[in-house]
Structures are given as C-alpha cells and as structure tokens.
C-alpha cells in the first residue's frame, strides 16, 4: 500500500494564481484532512471531510476550497494565491475522527511570490 | 484553550530513557491524548494515544496522570532516529473532535 500520497511535492506560484493540491489514500479511510504548517509552528487544520461528498471547515479555512468527489481523493484548491499562503501542506486520513491514528502524507511545499 | 503545553526542547543521550511531559489542564472527560512526532522534512507520524490508563506499544509508553491534567510520553531507549519534534495533542471534542496541534517539543539525541 502507498498510504497517503500528495501531488505535487513542490510548487511556486505568483500572487493571484490558482492551483489544486491532490491527496490520495488507498486505505479506504472515511476521514481526510488538510493541514498547513508554517515555519516553527505546529499544524493547523484547514478543512476536513467525514466521507465522500462531504467537507467541513477547520481552524484556518479562509482562502481555500476543498472537494471530496471520490472516497480516496481529497482536493485542496487555492483560487487566488497570496504570499500568506506560503507554507507546507499536509494531507492525512483516518478510520475515525477523534479516536484513531491519522496517517499523513509527505507534504507539499508551496511558495507564493 | 484547546491546546496543550510542552517544553520547547529537550536533550537526551542515546540508549537512555526519555520522558517528555505535557500539560492539558482543561481537558474534558472524552478527549483522548495523542502523541505524534515529526522527523525533519517529513509528515507527522503517530506514536501513541490514550484516555485514562497508561498505554504501551512498540514505540513508546504513555503515562496519564490520575486527574488527566498531564501526561508523559516515555521512550524507553532513545536512538538517533528518535530525534524529532514531539506533539502532545488532545482531540478537542471527543469522538467528533479534531486534533489540535501545538508547537511541540524538539527532542535532540546525543550519541
């Protein structure tokens, strides 16, 4: 099993450009999450999904949109990138929400100029 | 506050035990304590989690205080590979809660 994979690994954007980050998991997990991590900080939850076709806001959702059209995929979109969105983005998945292990992907390093 | 309190950094010697403390004085009765670690340039990795009683697995042990206001992650024999940032997390909101990460403790392991 590949676990949780993220595409792309690195990306540089100009202010105002848009992009989509893809997260895929092959563990048949119901729950998926998008986090961002700024230098020297812990992870902050952007959006999460409790199942196919559902999404919900996390701690820092502004400027991001998400979609979960298929159970195994969770997409994170930036419609108009800003320098404040420069960060490392991690995707995770789990079988339950609060009580089980979350499996994390390797991260996407995004720089917005 | 939903976050936990940990020391910013700790040092250990290789092959010695390490005790990483965490305070969570506002924890509610249904919140689990989770520990994750993050090696440099990698995503976080699950270590252990528990509710009330002490827990053991192949990676570590988790000792939870009787009043649940604090806990300690115990690495029985530190290796160089254990050098990482360790996050003590409560899943604020019980079974429907999300993990709330703090800044964690950066553990250095000396040969």
8 Å CB contact between A23 and A108: no
pLDDT value of position B52:
86
Cα A86 → chain centroid: 14
Contact B98 A45 (CB under 8 A): yes
**Average pLDDT, rounded, for chain A:** 94
Is residue B81 helix, strand or coil?
Answer: helix
**Average pLDDT, rounded, for chain B:** 90
Q: Which residue of A has its CA nearest to B35?
A: A101
Q: Which residue of A has its CA nearest to B99?
A: A98
pLDDT value of position B1:
56
Sort out which chain B residues have CB atoms less than 8 A from A97's CB and list them. Answer: 91, 95-98
- Check residue A38 and give left, alpha or beta (phi > 0: left; psi -120 to 50: alpha): beta
Contact A90 B103 (CB under 8 A): no
pLDDT value of position B27:
81
**Minimal CA–CA distance to A1: which of A68, A93, A100?**
A93
∠ Cα B82 B83 B86 (to 5°):
85
Contact A98 B104 (CB under 8 A): no
- What's the pLDDT band for A92 if we cut at 50, 70, 90? very high
Residue listed under structure tokens 């676990």:
A3
pLDDT value of position A42:
87
What phi and psi, each to the nearest 5 degrees, are found at residue B81? -70, -15
Nearest CB to B101; choose among A42, A97, A99: A42
**Minimal CA–CA distance to A81: which of A17, A21, A24?**
A17
Sort out which chain A residues have CB atoms less than 8 A from B93's CB and list them. Answer: 98
pLDDT tens for each residue of B13-37 = 999 999 999 998 888 777 889 999 9
Contact B101 A107 (CB under 8 A): no
**Minimal CA–CA distance to A11: which of A78, A81, A80, A108?**
A108
Residue listed under structure tokens 């115990």:
B74
At residue A9, does pLDDT exceed 70? yes
pLDDT tens for each residue of B63-102 = 999 999 999 999 999 999 999 999 999 876 666 678 888 8
pLDDT value of position A51:
92
Interface residues of B toward A, Cβ cutoff 8 Å, are 31-32, 36, 41-46, 49, 87, 91, 93-104
Sort out which chain A residues have CB atoms less than 8 A from B99's CB and list them. Answer: 45, 98, 102
A71 touches chain B (CB under 8 A): no
């Amino acid at each position: 099993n590949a676990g949780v994979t993220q595409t792309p690994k690195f990306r540089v954007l100009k202010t105002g450009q848009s992009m989509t980050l893809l997260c895929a998991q092959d563990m048949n997990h119901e729950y998926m999450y998008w986090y961002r991590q700024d230098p020297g900080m812990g992870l902050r939850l952007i959006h999460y999904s409790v199942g196919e076709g559902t999404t919900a806001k996390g701690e820092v959702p502004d400027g991001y949109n998400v979609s979960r059209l298929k159970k195994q995929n969770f997409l994170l979109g930036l419609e108009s990138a800003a320098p404040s969105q420069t960060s490392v983005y991690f995707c995770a998945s789990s079988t339950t929400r609060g009580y089980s292990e979350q499996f994390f992907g390797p991260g996407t390093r995004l720089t917005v100029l | 506050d939903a976050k936990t309190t940990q020391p910013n950094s700790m040092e250990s010697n290789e092959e010695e035990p390490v005790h990483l403390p965490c305070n969570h004085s506002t924890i509610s009765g249904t919140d689990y304590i989770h520990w994750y670690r993050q090696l440099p340039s990698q995503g976080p990795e699950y270590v252990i989690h528990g509710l009330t009683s002490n827990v053991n697995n192949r990676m570590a042990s988790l000792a939870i205080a009787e009043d649940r206001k604090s806990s300690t992650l115990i690495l029985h024999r530190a290796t160089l590979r254990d050098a990482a940032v360790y996050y003590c997390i409560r899943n604020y909101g019980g079974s429907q809660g999300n993990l709330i990460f703090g800044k964690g403790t950066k553990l250095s392991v000396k040969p």
